[in-house]
Amino acid sequence: MPKDWNTLAEFTNQEYQQLFNRVTRASQVLTTDAEPEVGPTPKEVIWTRNKTKLYRYISDQPKKHKVPLLFVYALINKPYILDLTKGGSLIEFLVERGFDVYLLDWGSPGYEDRHMKLDDYIMDYIPRAVRKVLRKSQADEISILGYCMGGTITSMFAALHPELPIRNLIFMTSPFNFENSGAYGAMLDERYFDIDKVVGTLGVIPPDMIDFGNKMINPMATNLGPFVSLVDRADNEKFITSFKLLRKWLNDGILFPGEAYRQWIRDFYQKNKLIKGEMVIRGRKVKLENIKANVLNLAGKNDLIAPPHQVEALMDAISSEDKQFKVLPVGHTSITYGGQATKITYPTISDWLSERSN
């Protein structure tokens, strides 16, 4: 099959037929194929508050590690990217290796949640979830893994709650220093992006607006690239399955509470308060040096949303004696789903955590 579509005039009849078949299959994927099932690992709800649910994952296998693990997700999209499909699930991987795994799912906020602030998640929701996990697991300590913005939130939570028995912290593509935030910084520059007008007008931020901003970082690659790849590889059903899974998740966005969004843009992207030690949550200054737990901080070499330099900045700010920073050959999403994730990310987290969870 010719690799260059510019040579269509040179295609043989067989090559035209193969291209037609691929385009037809790609069209089916985008229009008529059923949506894939996601979140296959069995779980139960053990606590709720407002839209938020705390899940515990169920396994017939005996627990090998006495320290439970709580996942804290971002306020963007839904957390099933961490449990996307059998054989491609970080949560499934850790459950099968004997960890007692929990997930804090923020749910789908509505307009009535427009006044929710980061303060509410950090000072009310996460502390109660942590205490519930400790009681449910009958453990004395806890490990927490924060993904993307969830890790940034987790760092503030840990800094503000030194009284809680947090033994291990894992941050996965979580930004901490927003001084050099590339395309995001340009788009969100306070001279051009009036965050007060945005929040005042919308109340809650629609997921399409956030998705559009993400795609504008690399417009050609994120808008056209996936569909070109789909046609090129439409005869590969394994690729089709992954394409449909990721497309479902990417299109399954949720509303972002307006007040929390105002803080996220102003205090982080516009003012860079966290790494400067100027962030205040419910009247208390966030001091990252209060973090003394064991820390594994993971960045993606190809991550355009939270590039390595934004992630690594945490390391000099915390007081942990046992702390590691690793850059993996992945992107922002492929750190948790895909071939590199299963081969590199999953074992990296499991091995590090195993040594520190007994």
Q: What is the pairing mode between strands 88-89 and 83-85? A: antiparallel
Q: What is the DSSP letter of 124?
A: I
Q: How far apart are CA 257 and CA 254, in angstroms?
A: 10
Amino acid at 234: A
Of the candidates 207, 181, 196, 194, the one whose C-alpha atom is nearest the C-alpha of residue 78 is 207
pLDDT at 206 over 90: yes
**Please, what is the average pLDDT of the chain?**
93
Residue 194 a catalytic site member: no
Q: How far apart are CA 125 and CA 54, in angstroms?
A: 10
pLDDT at 1 over 70: no
> Catalytic: which of 303, 309, 316, 351?
303
Domains and CATH numbers, the chain: 43-182+270-354 (3.40.50.1820)
> Catalytic: which of 113, 120, 148, 267?
148
* pLDDT range class, residue 351, cuts 50, 70, 90: very high
Q: How far apart are CA 90 and CA 50, in angstroms?
A: 27
pLDDT at 52 over 80: yes
DSSP string across 185-252:
HHHT-TTT--HHHHHHHHSEE-HHHHHHHHHTTSHIIIIIHHHHHHHHTTT-HHHHHHHHHHHHHHT-
More confident residue, 308 or 235: 308
> Catalytic: which of 105, 113, 120, 332?
332
Coil, helix or strand at residue 145: strand
pLDDT at 2 over 60: no
Residue 148 a catalytic site member: yes
Give me the pLDDT at residue 62, please: 86
How far is CA 335 from its chain centroid? 9
Coil, helix or strand at residue 50: coil
- Picking from 1-5, 211-215, 252-256, which range would have the lowest pLDDT averaged per residue? 1-5
Average pLDDT over residues 117-145: 98
Residue 17 parent element (H or E): helix 13-31
Q: How far apart are CA 129 and CA 135, in angstroms?
A: 10
pLDDT at 60 over 90: no
Q: Which residues of 155-194 are buried (b: 16+ CB within 10 A; e: fewer)?
A: bbbbbbbeebebbbbbbbbbbbbbeebeebeeebeeeebe
Residue 120 a catalytic site member: no
pLDDT tens sequence across 321-347: 999 999 999 999 999 999 999 999 999
pLDDT at 65 over 90: yes
